[in-house]
Amino acid sequence: MSENVVNPTGDASISYPAFRWYLMLVMLVATAAQTVVMIAPASMVEFISKSLGIGVGPTTAIMMGTWNLVGPAGTIVAGFFVFRVGITRMFLLGCALLIIPSLLYPLVGNNLPAVIILRVLQPLGVGPIYATAPVLAAIWFPPAQRSMVAGLQGFATSLGVAIGFGAAPAAYAATHHNWLAMMACMAIVPILGFVMALVIPFGPKPPQAKESHQDEASMQNDWKMATREPVFYVGILIMFLMCWGFVSTNDLTPGYFAVSKPMGVGYGPVIAGKLMTTLQIFFMLGAAALGPIFEKIFKENARATVTVGFVVFAATIFSISQPFVFTNFKILYPVLGIAGFFLAWIIPCCIAFVTLHYPAHLTGKMIGLWFGIGLFAGVPAIGIGSALLTKTGNYHASIYVVTAIAVVGAIVAQWLKPPKSFRC
């Protein structure tokens, strides 16, 4: 089965095979797989630190901090190769880099240098998976469906986090409190993604594969034209600001709700977990809903969509510092849901913007670079947030910084305009 869709250039109709939906499913499984592997040690750091014989701080740096450094770098590099290497090979490579190190944990035991090496290898699988999505959307899907593909990848990202939070403790208990075996169990989801990717070569060819025959000189010239326009750097800055807000919200806000007064609001870890779960659920819903919202409501206007996302997130995240919000659960839960729903729009909207306005061979490079650089925002986000927490003795200053970051994002978004060099 295939669908005939009018080519946006108006030259002819393009037949989009129904096989594209299977490819999207592979992307969703692979995307969820990398966040399952990423988040698995997060709630287990106390037990891992005892097993390794080091403190909780160093353990967190090894198991989580390493991911935040290696993952973005790998995403940048992968973006430059995805169009040439191909979607299938990138999926297989990304899943393999998640699978093999995971399975090796029980073999290396509590050998600290070996554990560090494995944790460095695992996030290298992030890049090949994330960089594939924009190319997949640009080549296999008609323009009207590309924002949906981008949004569902955001949904899968959060879904993987949710699965990891639940699966890691269960696997830890099932393996008789052996964290090394627990890490090996996390290979199940990427193995599923790997097996599913093996089917891709047996399907039909992509409808726009002809672009892969474009000569190297033309592709290099397109890249130079893209990087000369201001919107290229606007996209990078938007991704950076969004990731700053996302990381700060997920890493600092739970403490704000859990920690006793006057530093926090004193609800304890259980209620804090429920509050953050609400935010995550609505983040997934916002990402999944972005496709029709972007197409039907905003008429594929990325500037307006991103602006609204940042503005609503700024207003809601600021409000949680106000007593009339954080003391009333009937207000607080909906506020967090709204914050997550609108924040989820920004990254998939940027991916959709690239796939709609740039040639397919540029999409992997651009999103790899935009998203890769953006992910580095986690470093200053946590560093500044922690420093302010230490200096002020409460979380309010950190919340104000996140609010300011979102406001700046809304301002920067005014320059997110289609490039003049391309009319895709």
Is the domain of 250 the same as that of 183? no
Q: What are 2's strand-pairing partners? A: 17
Neighbours of 360 (CB within 10 A): 22
Residue at a domain's end among 201, 234, 258: 201
Is the domain of 242 the same as that of 193? no
d(CA 294, CA 298): 5
Q: DSSP states of 164-227 as a string?
A: HHHHHHHHHHHTTS-HHHHHHHTTHHHHHHHHHHTTGGGSPPPTTGGGGGS-HHHHHHHHHHHH
Dmax over CA atoms of the chain, in Å, equals 65
Question: What pLDDT sits at residue 393?
Answer: 83
Question: What pLDDT sits at residue 423?
Answer: 66
Is the domain of 123 the same as that of 269? no
Would 136 be classed as within a structural domain? yes
Would 206 be classed as within a structural domain? no
Beta strands 2-6 and 13-17 are: antiparallel
Instruction: Write the CB contacts of 56 (distance below 8 Å, at least 6 apart in sequence).
Output: 45, 46, 49
* Cα 281-142-239 angle, rounded to 5 deg: 45
d(CA 354, CA 146): 10
d(CA 253, CA 374): 20
Question: What pLDDT sits at residue 214?
Answer: 59
Domain count, the chain: 2
| Rg of the chain, C-alpha, whole Å | 21
Is the domain of 225 the same as that of 165? no
Is the domain of 188 the same as that of 249? no
Question: What pLDDT sits at residue 323?
Answer: 93
Q: Are 116 and 62 in contact (CB under 8 A)?
A: yes
Q: Are 265 and 326 in contact (CB under 8 A)?
A: yes
The DSSP element (H or E) to which 400 belongs, if any, is helix 396-412
Question: What pLDDT sits at residue 36?
Answer: 92
d(CA 169, CA 215): 51
Question: What pLDDT sits at residue 54?
Answer: 87
Is the domain of 307 the same as that of 181? no
Instruction: Write the CB contacts of 90 (distance below 8 Å, at least 6 apart in sequence).
Output: 78, 81, 82, 128, 129, 131, 132
Q: Are 275 and 330 in contact (CB under 8 A)?
A: no
Residue 14 DSSP class: E
Neighbours of 2 (CB within 10 A): 13
The parts of the chain modelled with pLDDT lower than 50 are 2, 4-12, 209-212
Is the domain of 148 the same as that of 260? no
**E strands within 82-187?**
none
Is the domain of 115 the same as that of 230? no
Domain limits for position 54? 14-201
Question: What pLDDT sits at residue 410?
Answer: 97
d(CA 194, CA 189): 9
Q: Are 36 and 160 in contact (CB under 8 A)?
A: yes
Would 9 be classed as within a structural domain? no
Instruction: Write the CB contacts of 299 (distance below 8 Å, at least 6 apart in sequence).
Output: none
Tokens representing residue 301 in the block: 């206007």
Is the domain of 161 the same as that of 284? no
Q: How far apart are the first and last CA of the chain?
A: 26
Would 213 be classed as within a structural domain? no
Residue 328 DSSP class: -
Is the domain of 273 the same as that of 188? no
Residue 127 maps to which CATH number? 1.20.1250.20
Would 97 be classed as within a structural domain? yes
Q: What are 13's strand-pairing partners? A: 6
Q: What are 203's strand-pairing partners? A: none
